[in-house]
Structure 1
Amino acid sequence: NTELTTILEISKVLTTSFDLEENLNAVMNILSKRLDMQRGCVFLMDPISNELRIVAAHGLTKEAIKRGKYRIGEGIVGSVMQNGSMMFVPNIGKEPRFLNKTGARPEKCGVSFLCMPIKLKDESMGVIGVDRIYTEEHGNVDDDIRVLDIVASLIAQFVKLWKMFVTTENECNLLRRQLKQIYSIPNVIGESKKFKAVLKTVEKIASTDTTVLLLGESGTGKELIAKTIHYQSHRMNGPFVAVNVAVLPENLIEAELFGVEKGAFTGATTQRKGRFEYAKGGTIFLDEIAELPMSLQAKLLRVLQEKTFERLGSSETIKADVRVIAATNKNLIEEVRKGNFREDLYYRLSIINIKLPPLRERGDDVLL
């Protein structure tokens, strides 16, 4: 069935991405191929000019698209937007309200025009207009109206989701800029010489992807420094995922860090991502790294060496696109000597080693 195939193809196109123009142009191309549409346009309201403007079209030049602007109530397109109801013009050559503002129809006689509002509930968003030539042997107006009504509804839902996506994306970008400012070097308060030396090191290494080990007593600001490194790096648009290894039950640490496959153990009823997957494109901060069980230290070492890992209970290899920053308040060299921490993992973690001075050595900072 051509109609069902058309609707299915359009549904798939509108769920591939949030690229407004690309998706809507693909919709118009499908209508052209499947329903013998001669020309077609999707008009959406421009919030700035308060006019209907063409955002996607088939069979029109770029110049014609630029000319396709309508005020609400102007012509067939503007009237459909104003009234919120479909209009069918059997012959545009005999319809004075058909303004042909695009100039794309020099020969108007014999061309029919279907114009359908794009609306979701009571919210009108725009209009879809289609040129069609009907003959006794070819084409059925009622069938085309039914299909176009469904297509307009699908477009309305897509446009609504697109608007929400754009709003959310803008808010996220604003938040990222604010976080970058908050965690900028000048905004990290510290006047002692030792802490200024720490910030100088942070400024040098933030732009790299090198693993960092933060050493220092509790309360010295290790997570603050980790966030500063992240938000001053090229990964600032990615997530910052903080994990306190010490508070995780030993039997759940592997699943928490690397994820778990459905059926991997009793109670694993669904597949679940781990923190390394959630940190994709960003930074993972492993606090209290000295508490990581020996059984998992080899797996973390592999992540650092090979940049890959597997979920618990799965053989599928996942790429670890993440920067690792670890922290501890213990003497890791001493932990290596005691046999509590792998020496090779220690050297992998401490490619860049930043020691935060204790508060008792930062008298000026405590006063701040």
Structure 2
Amino acid sequence: MYASIATALLGASALAAARPSEENKGWGTTSSSTTEYGAMPSSTQSNGWGWGNKGGSSTSSAADAGQSAFSFPLPNGFPNVSASALKDLEIAAQGVPGNGAAPMVSEDAKTSFRFIAFNELFEVAFFTELVNNITSGHYTVPNGQSANVLRALHAVQAQEEIHALGANNLLKANGANPIIPCKYDFPVDKFEDAIALASTFTDVTVGTLQDVQKTLAKDQDPVGTIQLIGSVIGQEGEQNGFYRNLNGKIPSALPFLTTSKREFAFSAINQNFVVRGSCPNIGDIKLPIFAKLDVLNVEPNQQPVNTTFKYAADNDNVYSGNPDDLSLVYINQQTLPIVLPLKMPQQNGNTLSFEADFPGDFPFHMNGLTIAVVAKGNHFKSVDDVAAATLFGPALIEIN
């Protein structure tokens, strides 16, 4: 769930909940917190869903809008690019990939680079469709900025192609199969929402690459891999400053950007953008797909500070224990996880609904990207601890 909430709503009352759709039944959910590796969640959306969607209103997928799902290859052959096409791609990207020997990496590093390839393929699909929607006139770019925006987005699209090729080439050099793209639906139908969506998933990418760097260091993988990921974090940050500025925000949201986990990003992309059953080798990516968590809506309130969200969780054979054993956990900036009880939990069919506070007790306390998950337990010292206990999520909340 990707809800974009204006700073003024720190003094609002929001309702949120976690629930499944009928189509989600049987998609690899287990009695633990996750689906099996490679199992796909439903592609339908409930009320309040949407990357960058204002105020929690519902958003249609591309399939709902009568559009066909996005699929590869691109006109240049991507993801299988010839030597001559690669030269053209480098010109469009305004730079080249590294030319040193690919490092030999650990098994967990292979998981990281599989995830990176999966994520970059999704981003290539998104930016290709965004560019096409602008050039075809389906999207209107305000204030006569079309030429400038397209110049930037053409470069971003090419840069993401090179990111994806680089991750898959490293996998092949390590004797692993490259990740094959899926089909995708994107739940936006105008330029401003597409840019807000790009900003949110770029926030998640930047946070997740922090996790990748941490695991590479912990496993003592080659130092060059950590350097490489650092260069991508910077590139993604440059992108997001542009998207934020287009939508009237300052380029940099925070002094220290919100961290994330591979599991959260992998779940979010699968829950919200991937056409289920369309990924040929998603099972190679040994990361869980959590059950979906939605923030349902946002309602104005006269309270000057704290906000209450109502959530719905896809509880289709995911959790049958006492809801009092569950907590809503917020991850924001580089601070310790904020752990809160579920208020008024109710199980209705396959939907676990509840309310939880969103703390806004002083300015900027929860600024930027906040990741919300439901986890079993109530004592978490780190984001790693939270991910290990997560059952539902992530819901993503953007303030400023």
TM range (shorter): under 0.3
With the length of structure 1 as denominator, give the TM-score of the two structures: 0.20
Higher relative contact order at CA 8 Å, sep ≥6: structure 1 or structure 2?
2
Structure with greater proportional helix content: 1
Larger gyration radius, structure 1 or structure 2: 1
